[in-house]
Structures are given as C-alpha cells and as structure tokens.
Structure 1
Amino acid sequence: MIIVIVHFTNGILRHKFQNITGQLYSVVRPEGDSVMFSCLHQMSIIAAEAAKKNTTKKANITAMWIYNGHYVMNRRRYFAKEGLLYVYHLKPMDSGVIMCRVDVSRKVIGSLKMKTSYLVGIYSICVIPPKPSMKVEYRSSMRLKNNLRYFPYLDDPVTMYWFKDDYCYMKRTGLVKFLPKTLFSRQTSPMDSGIWRCIVYSSSMDMVWTTSCNKVEVAKKKKLLPLVTGLFKKVTQMPEFQLLSRWSMLLIFTHIVALIRIWARGDFIL
C-alpha cells in the first residue's frame, strides 16, 4: 500500500513530495494540506488474476472511491481518476473513512455481463484544525461522534478507543459514557480541553484507523471573588440591611460565601 502526501501552495504543485510506504491506513494532517490516495497496486494485482482466469475475453476494471458513505464525484476539492483520489485544502469536515472499491466486469455469454467487486483499501483521515472546532462552557456537557456508521462491516468486531492528546482515555464514570455512536461527557472542566480522536482497531487485520478528530476548548472556571463582591454590594444597598448589627452582617456574609462554595463544587444546584 502506497500513500503519497502532496503539499500544495496557492493551487500550484510544488516539487516536494513525501512518500509513505508500508501498511499505513491512518493519515493525520493539519487543516489546509492536500493528500492523495492510491490503489493502483491493488488494481494491478486484480487485473493479473482476472487475466489468468479469462484468457479469451478481457475484463474491464474500474476503481470507485467511497468517502464517508458517499461515492466521490469530481468537485472543487475532490478529484478521482484511475485509482487515484486527490483531496485539496483539507478541512475539518473531511475527517472520516475512505474506501477504495475495485469492480471487475466481463462478458459471459452474448450481452450478459458478470460484475465482481473488491474492497481493496480502507483508509481514515483526521484533519486537525488550527482553532477549536468545539467550544464548551464550564460544567456543561459535550458529545463527540465517532463516525463508525461509515465504517464497513468486517468479519470480527472492531475495538473502539478514545484518545485525548495522544493518551488513551479509559475513564468510565457517571460523568463520562462511551456510547455506541458517541462519547458523552457532562460537567466538563478545563482538563477536557485538547484534541480528541476516536481510534478503531481490528485484531484480525491488525490495522488501526482514526475515524474522528475534534479539537475541544472548555472555558475556564469563573472566579468566585467578583461574584461574591458584587452580591455583597447589592445586599448592602438594601434598606433592610442598614437595620442589622455588625455581627448579623458578618453571619449573613459567611453563609452566602458557604453556599456559593457548595454550589461551585456541584453538590447541589441553586
């Protein structure tokens, strides 16, 4: 399997190429780069096998690319030709699963044709945006999709892992749930900020794919001092407050501070 990553600048092809050989099926690239996938080697193998089986009639071999469950059509940023797929100027929406399907059709009797399809390559691409793709408020909930609905059916079930900043996220508590299609987290904190990736592993094929990539930013915790001082100013301006003694004022103020601290810890909701 050969995947060639091409760098483009202002739509002009530069002479800098990065050739990647070996069993590489997961590509992680920053936003704005361009990438090219190839299944020409698999097409040549299938063509050789088809020629051995049929020496009299020549088979017609075509390659189709499937991107997140949809067939790739030539558009502004997508271009498919003869077993090659070009994706220009990557965007976060381009993250997902890419499959190459090779169709072999030949005439059997008269106008009767027989068509055989081969799934020769399953790839995944993860586009990392420069800015956060998801902004979450402090102590709110977030839901990350894993895009497994675009993944093809394999003989053995795949294993799903969630990674945050290249570390496997194995925390399974009441605040974090690993659902079949999403990762759901509530009462988020600034520690949840980072790059979240969904990794899929197949033990029989010994391959790893990155099906989704999200850059999450969680807002920092608001300081309690401005909140307490603002509340204290409003209370002191009330006419009923002027009739209280100093000890009563201090007792009310300490109770207000204690309630705000308990609310900040999340023991109860005001």
Structure 2
Amino acid sequence: MNFLITGGAFDKLIKVWDINTHKLLFQLKGHDQGVWDLHKFSGLDLVVSAGMDKSIKIWNAKKGGPPLRQIPDAHKNWIRGLLYIPESDGLVASSSYDKTVKVWNVQTGELVQEMLGHEADIYALTYEETTNQLISCDNKGNILRWNWLEGSFKVVQQDQSGFFAIGITTIPNSKLMFTVGYNSFNIFALDISKLNKQPLYVKKGHANETWNVKYRKGTGFIYSGSTDYSVKKWNVCEFLHEIFDLEEGICVKECKEGYIENSDLNICVKQVKKSEL
C-alpha cells in the first residue's frame, strides 16, 4: 500500500493517508503540542517526528499505535528541523529555536553530537549526501554547513538584508543549494562550497511568501510551496541555463530523469557560455 504521512503544526496529530483512495487510515497521537517536522526512515515503515513539545518520537507508520520510542526534552525550545541521516544505523539530526543542532541515536536515546555556532533560532535543516554534511539556517540570515562527525562548521551565507531562509534543499553531486524564506516570493541558488555574499541566482517563484523547497531525488526537479496556496515544480537543468548563461536547450535535451544525480552537473549541462560560442 502506498501511503502519505502528514503532520499538523497545531492539532498535535500525525495522519497517515492512503494515496490511492485519499482515505485517512489512522492518526498517531502522542505529541503534547504541534508537530513541526517529520521524516520517514529509508526502506522502513518508521517515522520520526518532533515539534513544539521539544520531544523526538519514533512511530510505526504502517500499523499505527503509540510511539515506539521517544526522546523527551531533546531540546530546550521548539524543534523546527528533523531528518534521518542515511546509512547511519538509526541516527537522526534535529535543530531548534535553542540555537543548537544535535545528532541522536534514536534506538538508545543517546546524544551523539551537539553543535554550537548559530546565534539565533534555527528554522530549517537539510542533509547534503555527497559530502555527508548537514546544513542549517537561522532567522538572522546565517546558513552553516556542518561536519556532524566532528561538530565543526563553515559559513555558507551571512545575509544582513533582513531575509532569512526557512526552507533549504541541496542537489546531489553538485555544489548547488536552493533556499526560500521570510518575506520573499523568490527561490535563491547558492554555492555550498563557499561563503556567498550574494545568491548565484534569484528566480521569481510565487505570488506570496515561499516557505518550503525540496529536491525530489532521482528526478532532476525541485518543488516549492507557498502561502499563495500553490506548489510549483521546477527543472533544475533550466535553472542552470540561467545561472551559468548556458547554450539554450543543451541541458533539457540531454539530461534524462535521474541523470543529474548519476554524474557531475558540469558534465550534464556542458557548461558552454553563450559568449564562448
């Protein structure tokens, strides 16, 4: 059975739906306050969730029932970001308004790593699989890239304009990251390998604030969601044409589904600038 899992920021519930029939299968109850984020374990019917009650909980998304395991008071303030670290034997990472990023063994409840570097509330967290690193952003406009094994970080962006990212996603086998956020309708492209004083590229995205952006693995597409009640699908290759001023049509014509992740982006798009033709 194909199912969809959703969490409610205000009703404290996690809901599991049948994708084909749109039927609500069951609700997972256990959080005392709103659920801000949840993540499915790859290849398993397990879901990890977190939110305003500062706890992390593990659920059986196929059978339902109470939490299988939980870490109470995982943070000192709301948990806003949560994800499963692939190929890590059950490690999850969390980020919070308490300005910390933490890595947990959810089987034992052990705190594996606590990372300090932010000086403001952390709004989003993502995993960069090519380098096995974490990326987080706070509401002062700072984006940090973490070596979570060591607890060290590098600064990706320091934005003093008043904008801050509340949604971030990376593209495997590239240096690209896309962000969306506070008081902006746009999608921004950054280079995660360096300090970005300005975005590489800005794309007009929605008619109102854009709150989330995700890359769908193996497709070459990112999706953005906005308070204008729309979700939009974007071709990463087309973005690259505009970012790097590439010859028209090369990327779209030659990059097939999944091709972006299986080779270097530079090869995929044949970075030939129009000025060099």
Same fold (TM over 0.5): no
- Shorter-chain TM-score: which interval? under 0.3
Question: Would you tell me which structure has more helix in proportion to its own residues?
Answer: 1
Return the TM-score normalized by structure 2: 0.27
Return the TM-score normalized by structure 1: 0.27
Structure with greater contact order relative to length (CA < 8 Å, sep ≥ 6) = 1
